[in-house]
Amino acid sequence: MKTVYICIDDTDNIDSIGTGEILENICDRLKDEGIAEGGFVTRHQLLISDKIAYTSHNSSMCSALLTDDTEAVVRFAGEYLENNSADGSDPGLCVYEPKGSDTSFLTAFGKRAQSEVLTKDDAFNTAKLYDGEIFLSEHGGDGSGIIGALAGIGLRLTGSDGRIKGKIFPEKEGERLTCRDFCKKYGAGQAIDSETLKKIPDDETICFEAVTKAVYRDFMITIVAERRGDLYVPVPKKLKNKK
Amino acid sequence: MMDKEKIKKAVLTAESCSDYSDDYEEELCDDENISCLNCRYRRWIKGGFECVKGKYSDE
Ligand code: SF4
DSSP string, A50-93: TTSTTBS--EEEEEEEEES-HHHHHHHHHHHHHHHSPTT---EE
Closest CB to B31 among A56, A57, A238: A238
> Average pLDDT for residues A174-202, to the nearest whole number?
98
Summarised one tens digit per residue, pLDDT across range A126-145 is 999 999 999 999 999 999 99
Question: Of all residues in chain A, what percent carry a pLDDT higher than 70?
Answer: 95
User: A125: which residues sit within 8 A by CB, 6+ positions away?
Assistant: none
Which residues make beta-bridge pairs with A17?
A: none
Closest CB to A163 among B14, B26, B33: B26
Summarised one tens digit per residue, pLDDT across range A57-112 is 788 999 999 999 999 999 999 999 999 988 888 999 999 999 999 999 999 999 99
Confidence check: pLDDT of A117 > 70: yes
Mutation test of the interface with chain A: which of B21, B24, B31, choosing the one with the most A Cβ atoms within 10 A? B24
Which residues make beta-bridge pairs with B24?
A: none
The correct answer on CATH 3.30.9.10 for the domain covering A2-163 is: no
**Residue type, position A212, single letter:** T
Q: Locate all alpha helices (DSSP H) within A85-175, ordered by sequence.
A: 104-112, 120-128, 145-158
Closest CB to A240 among B38, B40, B45: B38
Q: Cβ–Cβ of A55/B38 closer than 8 Å?
A: no
CA distances from A84 to A39, A62, A88, A126, A218 (A): 21, 17, 12, 27, 33
> Average pLDDT for residues A3-15, to the nearest whole number?
91
Strands A220-228 and A231-234: antiparallel
> Average pLDDT for residues A195-202, to the nearest whole number?
97
Confidence check: pLDDT of A186 > 80: yes
DSSP three-state, residue A218: coil
Confidence check: pLDDT of A114 > 50: yes
**Which chain B positions have a beta carbon within 8 Å of A61's beta carbon?**
26
Low-confidence ranges of chain B (pLDDT < 50): 59
> What is the chain B residue with the closest CA to A12?
B24
Q: In whole numbers, what is the pLDDT of chain A averaged over residues?
A: 93
Which residues make beta-bridge pairs with A8?
A: A61, A93
Higher pLDDT: A159 or A10? It is: A159
User: In this predicted structure, what is the pLDDT of residue B25?
Assistant: 84
Three-state secondary structure along chain B? Answer: CCCHHHHHHHHHHHHCCCCCCECCHHHCCCCCCCCHHHECCEEEECCEEEECHHHHCCC
Dist. CA A61–CA B27, nearest whole Å? 11
Q: Residue A24: in which H helix or E strand, if any?
A: helix A19-32
User: In this predicted structure, what is the pLDDT of residue B52?
Assistant: 87
B44 touches chain A (CB under 8 A): yes
Confidence check: pLDDT of A193 > 70: yes
Q: What is the DSSP string of A166-205?
A: S-B--SSTTEEEEHHHHHHHHT-SEEEETTT-PBPPTTSE
> What is the chain A residue with the closest CA to B26?
A165
Confidence check: pLDDT of A226 > 90: yes
Q: Cβ–Cβ of A56/B46 closer than 8 Å?
A: no
Question: What is the pTM for the complete model shown?
Answer: 0.90
Q: Kindly report the nearest CA distance between residue B51 and chain A, in angstroms.
A: 10
Domain ranges of chain B: 4-51
Residue pair A232/A225 in contact (Cβ under 8 Å)? The answer is yes
**Residue type, position A135, single letter:** F
Domain ranges of chain A: 2-163, 167-234
Q: Confirm or reject: Cβ of B49 under 6 Å from ligand 1.
A: no
Confidence check: pLDDT of A120 > 80: yes
> Average pLDDT for residues A195-204, to the nearest whole number?
97
Confidence check: pLDDT of A219 > 80: yes
Question: Which of B38, B51, B55 to probe ligand 1 with, by most ligand atoms within 8 A of CB?
Answer: B51
Distance of CA A35 to the CA centre of its chain: 20
Q: What is the ipTM of this complex?
A: 0.73
Q: Which atom of ligand 1 is nearest to the CA of B18?
A: 8
User: In this predicted structure, what is the pLDDT of residue A243?
Assistant: 47
Q: Cβ–Cβ of B41/A242 closer than 8 Å?
A: no
CA distances from A137 to A4, A104, A163, A189, A211 (A): 16, 21, 25, 32, 37
Confidence check: pLDDT of A12 > 70: yes
